[in-house]
Amino acid sequence: MRKISESTVRRLSLYLRFLEHFAAQGQTTISSAELARRGGTTSAQVRKDLSFFGSFGKRGLGYSVSELTARIRDILGLRRTYRVVLVGAGRIGSALVQYPGFRQRGFHVAAIYDKDPKKIGSRWNGLVVRDIRHLDGDLGKEPSDIAIVVTPAESAQEVVDRLVHAGVKAILNFAPVQLAVPADVVVKSVNMALELETLSFALANR
Amino acid sequence: MRKISESTVRRLSLYLRFLEHFAAQGQTTISSAELARRGGTTSAQVRKDLSFFGSFGKRGLGYSVSELTARIRDILGLRRTYRVVLVGAGRIGSALVQYPGFRQRGFHVAAIYDKDPKKIGSRWNGLVVRDIRHLDGDLGKEPSDIAIVVTPAESAQEVVDRLVHAGVKAILNFAPVQLAVPADVVVKSVNMALELETLSFALANR
């Protein structure tokens, strides 16, 4: 398989959302033009994105909604569920735990950790916040593929080192810091100020 | 100026963070190699990113930290402050309002709106949540360049139409929906489930 860029992966995620929406409305086929219109891109881009995974669709008939949905779910690794641990029981963590989109997609937040005694033991959306010192032992008993790190910048690398040591292979990082991880671990960082900076850049360079 | 890709803009934001960190430690020059190491990229990429904006740095001496900081702040549109309005006083909104990185960067959340009578009038980080029906009038009196939209999917487009009509030119969107805006308005969408899907994709395609 050719190398797939992150922007292609993001568009595939979007197409999947539109396909699910169409399926819920009883639509059975969809054209590249319709996916393009919804996704704010071109038909050519849609066809190129989907061509990465072999031949889909029939000229003039479009794509089968169910077939394309299954194929994209497969590509995105969504045929299974993921056990997710969250480290950092602050405001962003609170918002994330209750985010319905995670569970719908098969991402189950199974445990929350913090080091603040005031937070440890409190209930969050049915989960009890656990002391961070149990992290390694818990992961030894119940491994997780994905961790969400919402700690302050200064503790993030230490937490990530422990997660990686315990076998976590993918990290969604909200701490404003560049993390060092081994080559077989993938990190995706989300930085809200940085998102706003792409907007200020656009405003300044119109 | 050549067209600058979003990934370049994101790296510039990162470089700026590292530069500020170096400046705080009293460092006056920095090499492309050091910026690359911090940013998880290559010296060649750093030089290419910075070359977009003319010639910087001296061979063997590196870049002046203060000069490069000023230049990147200029490029990113951070020489000024931005008045930001936030629509949707839910959990993510609550996390965002208190996010220290915004104010440090010059993004001032100046008003919060919601349509829920239980939320209207409540205090949030020194701001009082206002009834969404005041949005248009308020923006007429005090224009904002940037809005953050954290509404449910079904209300997002209507809110965005009102924001655009009131002169907002840049929108950070957390609603899981593709927004339609005029060509002179820039939208940046953040979707947490989509971020996790880039991780599941990476796990499934190793």
CB contact under 8 A, B203 and A145: yes
The answer regarding whether domain A82-194 maps to CATH 1.20.1250.20 reads no
As a whole number, mean pLDDT of residues A116-128 equals 93
Chain A: give the shortest CA distance to residue B97, in Å: 10
Domain ranges of chain A: 6-75, 82-194
As a whole number, mean pLDDT of residues A182-190 equals 93
Q: Which of A67, A66, A106 is nearest to A84 (CA)?
A: A106
The predicted structure's pLDDT at residue A4:
80
pLDDT at A135 over 90: yes
Q: What is the pLDDT of residues B81-94, one digit of tens each?
A: 999 999 999 888 88
* Helix runs in chain B, H state only: 6-24, 32-39, 43-51, 65-75, 91-97, 100-104, 135-141, 153-165, 192-204
Only one residue has tokens 């370049």, namely B8
- Note whether A6-75 and A82-194 share their fold: no
Which residues in chain A are closer than 8 Å to B107, comparing Cβ atoms? 193, 196, 200
The CATH class, in words, for A6-75 is mainly alpha
The region of weakest confidence among A63-72, A103-112, A116-125, B99-108 is B99-108
The predicted structure's pLDDT at residue B58:
63
Which residues in chain A are closer than 8 Å to B8, comparing Cβ atoms? none
As a whole number, mean pLDDT of residues B63-87 equals 93
Pairing of strands A82-87, A107-114: parallel
CB contact under 8 A, A198 and B9: yes
Residue % of chain A over a pLDDT of 70? 95
Q: What is the pLDDT of residues B103-136, one digit of tens each?
A: 888 999 999 999 999 999 999 888 999 999 999 9
The ipTM, to two decimals, is 0.89
What's the predicted TM-score (pTM) here? 0.80
Residue among B10, B75, B202 minimizing CB distance to A194: B10
pLDDT at A2 over 70: no
Which of A6, A197, A205 should one mutate to test binding to chain B, selecting the residue with the greatest count of B CBs within 10 A?
Answer: A197
Type of residue at A111: A
